[in-house]
Amino acid sequence: MSPLDGVTPAAESAPLIELHQVSKIYGSGTAEVRALDGVDLRIQEGEFVAVMGPSGSGKSTAMNILGCLDTPTLGSYRFRGVPVESLDRNQRALLRRHYLGFVFQGFNLLNRTSALENVELPLIYRRTPSAERHALARQALAMVGLTGWEHHTPSELSGGQQQRVAIARAMVTQPSLLLADEPTGNLDTARSHEIMELLIGLNRERAITVLMVTHEADMAAYAHRVIHFLDGRVADVIQPGAEA
Amino acid sequence: MLWNALLLALREIRRNILRSVLTILGIVIGVAAVIVMVTLGDGATRQVTQQIESLGSNLLMIRVGQRMGPGQRSNAPAFSLSDALAIRRDVSSARAVAPSSSASLTAVVGNRSWSTTISGTDNAYFDVRNWELESGRMFSTGDLRGGRSVCVIGATVRRELFGAMDPIDQNIRLKSMACQVVGLLRAKGQSTMGMDQDDLVLMPLRTYQRRIAGNQDVNLIQVSVRDGVSTEETTKELERLLRERRNISASEDDDFSVRDLKEITKMLTGTTRVLTALLTAVAAVSLLVGGIGIMNIMLVSVTERTREIGIRLAIGALEREVLLQFLVEAVALSSLGGILGILLALGASLGLTRLLNVPFVFNGGIVLIAFFFSAAVGVIFGYFPARRAARLDPIEALRRE
């Protein structure tokens, strides 16, 4: 059975993400606010893209739409060729379950729940049998360097460790796209670079496309591409690789 | 999924154990109250039935006069021994017929005296009233024909007059006569109306008529009906026979009454049932209140766990999966309340039935109903909070601190 009832992602040749003239409008008339205003964007499978921009520039709105948590008011968003704006709430949940992974600035782990169980959570919704679930979750934690910390709860872990658990949770399902919203925003520089190394590793070794919002230029420097948002529009696209 | 939801729910309940217990207190009390009410009601009904059955099975009591209001007196003539003999002869559905007359008298042994009921009757009395002998014998043919001064006494009379002493062959003084105790009845205990059934002295009818009453009257004829024969039919037959013997014309009412003990049983158990039903209904209201308590706490829980719900939704939980999770939690809470309520009820019922001297009747039906009702309370009152959780916007929910 297709995880997306009747909406199987189309050919591999299509870009992973394709935004065409996407706008998100709140309110109406004179009170109208355009959080996004006609954004065009293409991201190919395997890319590592950083998104930068001041507060209110629309980058969070864009991330919510790209993460299928929200829908555009106007325009179209195709995820592997599937028009996301035509999916209902449950279909979008299934798309997130099977193709997306999330890493947040505030970690967003379940409190009073062990690291292992936090990582198992997406597998539970995927109906993975429990033995396989435990094994996969342990592997994921080992990959982020948290072997031995499986049974600690978030309150017993440092910020950097919590973010590693969150990354393990996001990648345990082998998603196509990992959305990271300021993943290093709450961490010191050393921890930040460790997290970036993890994300780079996922991108290179597991071919997971990474889309990351950040305020810090040295974090953005890890990306293949940096997209700047300003006033709800894509202002600028820089290829750091080309500069270096 | 259901299994996972159940595990999650149990963990959530354990984490907030104090709050969980306080939440389900309403359900616990409601379930316990309903079960205790029904158990006590069943016990009371059983007791009434047992006591009436101990009077004798299928017993009809024929008395002179109709049931009258206070101040009214019947001037209808008493029965005679020949009426009882006629019933014995003509009414084939009568298994045993016991004529009797009785009076309240003081019985004296040595320096002890005891006011009791003296009845003159024959051996059929033991049959119709299900009496068994503890020791001694019933009346002999010679006792009955010759009107000898012998008597059989109940356990209470024995205790009051003889204490622990063996009463057999001792003499009791009644009025001016002395009579020899030949038998002791086995104790029956308290009767329905709080009367002591064991407080009686029996003697041959002829002895009673000659030595105590001074007339040939029979005041009461007790008839035990054969098994498988309806008491209604026998009642009609008795009425026909007695109307004929007492020359009552078709236009006149009976000047005697035939009372069916089954009727009395039905009436009494009916009253008990109505009372039980009323009290149970009152107790059921507390179940409703308990349900509202669960809804209240589930709403608080949803608010507290908004972020958790946001995380679950973001990583791909469906609306119905979140709904199920919270619904299962509410049902687990209320069912737990049901189970605790059942345990509490069993303990309280055991204690109360002992205290009130009522038999303990375990009613598995009401226990099951109470359990399912408590689970249903969880479904009904858990649905609204669960739906609220399921409909949360993941973006909003994740933003909440």
Locate the chain B residue with the closest alpha carbon to A171: B315
- Put simply, whether the predicted model's pTM sits higher than 0.80 gets the answer no
Structure tokens at B362: 């375990």
| Residue stretches of chain A with pLDDT short of 70 | 1-13, 240-244
What local confidence, expressed as pLDDT, does residue A12 receive? 57
Q: Is the pLDDT reported for residue B73 higher than 80?
A: no
Count of helices and strands (H, E) across chain A: 8, 10
Instruction: Tell me the mean pLDDT in the region B123-143.
Output: 91
Instruction: Tell me the mean pLDDT in the region B297-318.
Output: 93
Q: Which residues of B touch A107 (CB under 8 A)?
A: none
Rounded to the nearest angstrom, the minimum Cα separation between B297 and chain A is: 20
For B311, which of A70, A110, A127 is closest by C-beta distance? A110
What local confidence, expressed as pLDDT, does residue A1 receive? 41
b or e along B178-216 (b: 16 or more beta carbons within 10 Å of the residue's beta carbon)?
ebebbbbbeebeeebeeebbbbbbbbbbbbbbbbbbeee
pLDDT tens digits, residue range B233-259?
A: 899 999 999 998 988 888 888 888 888
Q: Does A14 touch chain B (CB under 8 A)?
A: no
**Cβ of A102 and B395 within 8 Å?**
no
**Cβ of A96 and B314 within 8 Å?**
yes
* A142/A201 Cα distance (integer angstroms): 14
Locate the chain A residue with the closest alpha carbon to B394: A69
Q: Which residues of B touch A110 (CB under 8 A)?
A: 308, 311
**Cβ of B398 and A98 within 8 Å?**
no
Please give the domain boundaries of chain A with CATH numbers for all domains: 17-243 (3.40.50.300)
What local confidence, expressed as pLDDT, does residue A240 receive? 63
**Maximal C-alpha separation, chain B:** 106
**Cβ of A93 and B4 within 8 Å?**
no
Locate the chain A residue with the closest alpha carbon to B325: A125
Q: Does A48 touch chain B (CB under 8 A)?
A: no
What local confidence, expressed as pLDDT, does residue B194 receive? 63
Q: Which residues of B touch A90 (CB under 8 A)?
A: 318-319
Distance set, CA B262 to CA A229, B61, B202, B387 (Å):
92, 11, 25, 56
Number of other residues whose CB lies within 10 A of the CB of residue B393: 13
Sorted by where each begins, the domain ranges of chain B are 2-51+266-399, 77-254
For residues B304 and B280, the model is more confident at: B304
Rounded to the nearest angstrom, the minimum Cα separation between A88 and chain B is: 11
Query: Could you tell me the sign of the dihedral formed by the alpha carbons of A213, A214, A215, A219, in that order?
Result: negative
Cα B202–chain centre separation: 29
Instruction: Please answer whether residues A181 and A103 qualify as being in contact, where contact means their C-beta atoms are separated by less than 8 angstroms.
Output: yes
Distance set, CA B122 to CA B77, B78, B126, B192 (Å):
21, 18, 8, 25
Strand order of the β-sheet with A209-213 is A100-103, A177-181, A209-213, A48-52, A225-230, A233-238
Kindly give the residue spans of alpha helices, DSSP state H, lying in B76-223: 81-90, 124-128, 141-146, 155-162, 205-207
ipTM over 0.90: yes
Locate the chain A residue with the closest alpha carbon to B391: A89
What local confidence, expressed as pLDDT, does residue B56 receive? 65
Q: What is the DSSP letter of B384?
A: H
b or e along B259-272 (b: 16 or more beta carbons within 10 Å of the residue's beta carbon)?
ebbbebbeebbeeb
Instruction: Please answer whether residues B225 and B231 qualify as being in contact, where contact means their C-beta atoms are separated by less than 8 angstroms.
Output: yes
What local confidence, expressed as pLDDT, does residue A143 receive? 92
pLDDT tens digits, residue range B325-367?
A: 999 999 999 999 999 999 999 999 999 999 988 888 888 888 9
Query: Could you tell me the sign of the dihedral formed by the alpha carbons of B110, B112, B118, B124, in that order?
Result: negative
Distance set, CA A183 to CA A88, A108, A206, B200 (Å):
28, 11, 19, 96
What local confidence, expressed as pLDDT, does residue A10 receive? 54
Q: Is the pLDDT reported for residue B286 higher than 50?
A: yes
Q: Which residues of B touch A186 (CB under 8 A)?
A: none
Structure tokens at B244: 């004929």
Q: Which residues of B touch A63 (CB under 8 A)?
A: none
Q: What is the DSSP letter of B106?
A: E
Instruction: Tell me the mean pLDDT in the region B63-82.
Output: 73
Locate the chain B residue with the closest alpha carbon to A70: B395
Q: What band does B275 get if pLDDT is binned at 50, 70 and 90?
A: confident
Q: Which residues of A touch B394 (CB under 8 A)?
A: 69
What local confidence, expressed as pLDDT, does residue A237 receive? 80
* B324/B386 Cα distance (integer angstroms): 7
Query: Could you tell me the sign of the dihedral formed by the alpha carbons of A10, A14, A15, A18, in that order?
Result: negative
Provide the β-strand partners of residue B183: B136, B152
- Interface test with chain A among B17, B306, B315, by most A beta carbons within 10 Å: B315
Q: In sequence order, which residues have a C-beta less than 8 Å from that of residue B74 and are 6 or more positions away?
A: B64, B65, B66, B68, B255
Q: Which residues of B touch A98 (CB under 8 A)?
A: 316
Q: In sequence order, which residues have a C-beta less than 8 Å from that of residue A204 and are 6 or more positions away?
A: none
What is the residue whose two structure tokens read 């320096």?
A: B111
Rounded to the nearest angstrom, the minimum Cα separation between B325 and chain A is: 12
In the predicted model, what is the mean pLDDT of chain B? 88
For residues B131 and B251, the model is more confident at: B131
Q: Is the pLDDT reported for residue B65 higher than 60?
A: yes
For residues B287 and B54, the model is more confident at: B287
